[in-house]
Amino acid sequence: MLKINKNITLSGVSEINGQQIVYMSATINTEGNNNTNTTKTITNKELYNANVEAARADMAAFESEVFKVEDEIKVGINNEVK
C-alpha cells in the first residue's frame, strides 16, 4: 500500500564575505508529528573557526525559522481538528 508523506524543506547558508561557511537544511513533516530532521554542515572550517560567533548566530536564526514553520503547522492542524 502506498503512503504519501508531505514535507516542507528549508535550506540556508551562512556566508562571510560571500563565501559559504555553513550549509543548513531542515525537512519538516506537515502532519504535525514533530519528525523534523535538521542538518548543519560546516563547509569551510577555517572561515568557520575565524567567525564562529557569526556562524552560530546564523544557525540560531535558521533554527528559529524551523521552529516558526513547525508552530504554523501545529496551529493549522489544531484548527482542522476543532
pTM of the model: 0.86
Read off the pLDDT band of 55 (50, 70, 90).
very high
Asked whether residue 74 carries a pLDDT value surpassing 90, the answer given is no
Residue with cell 521552529: 67
**Bigger pLDDT: 51 or 75?**
51
Cα–Cα separations (whole angstroms), residue 60 to 12, 53, 80: 12, 10, 30
Backbone angles phi, psi at 53, to 5 degrees: -65, -45
pLDDT tens, position by position, 61-72? 999 999 999 999
pLDDT tens, position by position, 19-54? 999 999 999 998 867 789 999 999 999 999 999 999
